[in-house]
Amino acid sequence: MKKLLIANWKMHYGPIKAGAWIRAFRRERLPKELDIAVAVPFVSLAAARSSLGRASIPALAAQDVFWNEEGAFTGEISPGMLLEFGTEYCIVGHSERRQYLGETDEMVSKKAAAAQRSGISPVICVGETKIQRARGEASKTVRSQITAAVSQSKSEGKAPLVIAYEPLWAIGSGKSCSPQDTKEMHTIIRSVLEKKLGKAASAVRILYGGSVDVRNVAEYMTTTGVDGALIGGASLDPRNFGLLCRAALPA
């Protein structure tokens, strides 16, 4: 199973800049041993798809999804709508949505299940706060989030689950989690998945996210239990993200 890198632009780049980013990134020399995706804002999916043309790298990802296919849900986007753009992945439960928009574990579970049923791989984000880690509650917090998030998912769904461990205190702070702590948390996540999903857990990739950049990406990618990374700020420049992709797998 290839390792996976996902660029998360967050609230950056409308259609014009998104198209330019994709065209520039397609000129980068990328390692064939990696799966690469880019999570763009809803309004930029059409431009990104158009700029990709028939190319499959990077794969398209969305930054959120709703759990119903249609109905009176003003402002929401369904899995079926995302599929029209050829979207392969969708981030759900990102800490910023949990923090600023009040997303609950139950909402994350419903979104993940809806995406998976439609053939889109949900990228379920979990992670503890600085206070929770200081209190020794990191393991308990993440176990609870994972258990809730996969409660409605199918062990043999149309699309495999992806988990992204993002300690909240590391996101955008420049203070990344140590490889040893990352290994421990990924081991915990894997054990919960095996308990909940059985053999299907082996198909789930567990990513690390939180201040990953060109300087430290290789260290994370070679850490036991880490199957890739979710990249924020370091992905906003296409050349820098291309460099990061090449640095991810040291020769």
pLDDT tens across 75-123, in order? 999 999 999 999 999 999 999 999 999 999 999 999 999 999 999 999 9
For the chain, give the mean pLDDT: 94
Phi, psi of 4 (to 5 degrees): -125, 130
pLDDT tens figures, 32-46: 999 999 999 999 999
Q: Which has more confidence, 156 or 65?
A: 65
What DSSP string runs through 223-235?
A: STT--EEEESGGG
| Per-residue confidence (pLDDT) for residue 251, from 0 to 100 | 67
- The residues annotated as belonging to the active site are 94, 166
pLDDT tens figures, 157-200: 679 999 999 999 888 777 778 999 999 999 999 999 999 999 88
Which amino acid type is present at position 9? W
Calpha distance 181→39 (Å, rounded): 26
pLDDT tens figures, 62-82: 999 999 999 999 999 999 999
| Per-residue confidence (pLDDT) for residue 250, from 0 to 100 | 77
**Tokens linked to 47:** 């431009």
Give the model's confidence band at 146: pLDDT under 50 very low, under 70 low, under 90 confident, else very high: very high
| Per-residue confidence (pLDDT) for residue 176, from 0 to 100 | 74
Q: What angle do CA 33, 36, 38 make, to 5 degrees?
A: 175
Picking from 141, 164, 160, the residue whose alpha carbon sits closest to that of residue 63 is 164
| Per-residue confidence (pLDDT) for residue 27, from 0 to 100 | 96
Cis, bond preceding 58 (omega within 30 deg of 0) = yes
- The pTM for the full model equals 0.96
**Tokens linked to 166:** 């993002």
**Tokens linked to 248:** 């991810």
| Per-residue confidence (pLDDT) for residue 172, from 0 to 100 | 74
For the chain, list the domains and their CATH numbers. Answer: 3-248 (3.20.20.70)
Calpha distance 52→46 (Å, rounded): 10
Q: What angle do CA 181, 182, 186 make, to 5 degrees?
A: 120
